[in-house]
Structure 1
Amino acid sequence: MFQNLSIGVFDSGVGGTTILKEILLLLPQENIIYYGDSGNAPYGEKSIEEIQNLCSKILDFFVKNRCKAVVIACNTATAAALDKLTEEYSIPIIGVITPGAKGAVKVTKNKKINVLATPFTVSSHCYIKELDKFSSSLSIFQEGCPELCPMIENGWELYPNREEVLKKHLSKLSKSADTLILGCTHYPIIENDIRKFFSGTIIDPAKETAMDLKELLKKKELLNSSRKKGSLDFFISGNIDSFRSIAEKFLGFSIKNIYSVEK
């Protein structure tokens, strides 16, 4: 019975669709509820208390809708609220920081890793703490970008100065690092532009997160054994049309079940 319940996936907006895309590929039979809190974006410039309160509200929504597990498809929310949410809710919850760190440690050759993220994620040092758990001999360089999330949410192509903004931030990171963690789930949407300014290996935590989710469901005996394709519903606290146009372009299919929720 519990196997047929939904998985809740949430982000401060459209960025979490990068995680959603990988979950749909790996677990096509699962029913999913995606919550895009674009009405309260960006999270990266809010206080820890504000982020935690927003996340608790979303968890309440998932519990009300009888979700069997939750993926925090947002680095900032993972850094600010994962520990608190796992203490307060009995539902299994995973974030994206551990998978991202794990992926970077696997591929780096020279043990020098760059992290591009929101100002909150950078100031929390969550990637430094997580990477240190895997190896104490890493050199880690971080850069916080306040502009990128809002620009991606509003439509990246609409900004003529977008490459200039990217170049400015990436130039502040280590030139010798061979690995770059995209420490915000919005950033894989603009990965092609990021590649113009970084030639090493780029880590998108999405694949690792989807695999961690599968392992969690397996361990908890919550994997959906149905052979049918699962349902997918979107709940958005901001502008639905804006979310739909960016999400459809990235996901590669039309979004049918999309609903508005209060921010």
Structure 2
Amino acid sequence: MRTIGVFDSGVGGISVLKEILKEFPNDNIIYFGDSLHAPYGDRSIEEIRRLCLKVSDFLVFDKEVDALVIACNTATGAAINIMQERYNIPVVGVVDNGVNEAINSTSNNLIGIIATPATVKMNIYPNTIFKLAPQNSVFQVECPLFVAMIENGWVDSIESDNLIKSYISKFSENIDTLILGCTHYPLITKYISRYFSGKIVNPAKETSKSLKKIIGDGKENLKYNPSRVFFVSGELQKFKKVAEEFLEQPIEDIRKIIL
């Protein structure tokens, strides 16, 4: 039976997993949340690559997944090319899929991006956008505090509301499309939409559709009972609590592991 591996620096990849489960209800899923090392976005590119390869080697060589989804923008930018060369299975990231949706969504060619410091530093979104649609103007804003707050359980408070407002207010009002350039951010879309009225792009949805085009829908697995296994490198119960809230279903099989 086919197994799809999904990994992120922590709980943010749940936004991608949620879409994967919709598209692939009959496949085994293994999710790895490297919350011990979160956020990746505050680390050097070399360190991000090292962490990514540890996790992906575990999923590919130890767990023998049949496809790998990098459910992290920072990891996608830092390591997807290396992974695609390293493994003989499909490896899909979130950046290209988010870019394609943004290009198709904007009506005035003004695209905003909110992301981690590392993702902004790598310029992976602007570079990809300009390569595909050079007529666009791209504006990036670093949001260094979002990931830690989401990992610890986002609370809708005056402080968190002011934080979102301070980040979004850095964009011109003319920007009509906003890419959530970190997979943690879709988990707080409803709060972000208080201050951004245009099109908000969640790359997770397009990523799951892209994977489906590559590996098929897995309907041949209908007769099997698929498994859902979660590996977490950090605090187990904290991850479980936040992940279940955003996944909107219980997590039964969750295991602590440090690679």
State the TM bucket, normalised to the shorter chain. Answer: over 0.9
* TM-superposed deviation, 1:252: 0.9
Corresponding residue pairs, total = 257
1:32 aligned residue (7, 26, 29): 29
Deviation per residue, 1:123-174 (Å, 9 max, x gap): 1110011112321100110001110000100111076511111111111122
2:100 aligned residue (99, 102, 113): 102
Separation in structure 2 between the aligned mates of residue 56 and residue 254 of structure 1, nearest angstrom: 29
Q: Which residue does 2:88 correspond to in 1? A: 90
Letter in 2 for 1:83: N
1:147 aligned residue (114, 125, 145): 145
Separation in structure 1 between the aligned mates of residue 225 and residue 113 of structure 2, nearest angstrom: 36
Q: Which residue does 2:48 correspond to in 1? A: 51
Q: Which residue does 1:75 correspond to in 2? A: 73
1:251 aligned residue (231, 247, 253): 247
Is 1:16 the counterpart of 2:13? The answer is: yes
CA-atom RMSD in angstroms = 1.4
Q: Is the contact between residue 104 and residue 179 of structure 1 (CA under 8 Å) also seen in structure 2?
A: yes
Q: Is the contact between residue 100 and residue 205 of structure 1 (CA under 8 Å) also seen in structure 2?
A: yes
Separation in structure 1 between the aligned mates of residue 156 and residue 36 of structure 2, nearest angstrom: 20
Once the two structures are superposed, the pairs formed by residues 123-142 of structure 1 within 5 Å of their partners are 123-142=121-140
2:204 aligned residue (189, 206, 229): 206
From the superposition, tell whether residues 160 and 261 of structure 1 become closer, same or farther in structure 2 (CA, over 3 Å): farther
* TM-superposed deviation, 1:223: 3.7
Q: Return 208-217 or 149-158, whichever deviates more.
A: 149-158
Deviation per residue, 1:82-133 (Å, 9 max, x gap): 1111122222211000000011111111111100000111111100111123
Q: Is the contact between residue 5 and residue 66 of structure 1 (CA under 8 Å) also seen in structure 2?
A: no
From the superposition, tell whether residues 229 and 136 of structure 1 become closer, same or farther in structure 2 (CA, over 3 Å): farther
Separation in structure 2 between the aligned mates of residue 229 and residue 126 of structure 1, nearest angstrom: 38
Q: Which residue does 1:236 correspond to in 2? A: 232
Deviation per residue, 1:162-207 (Å, 9 max, x gap): 1111111111122201000000000011111100110001000111
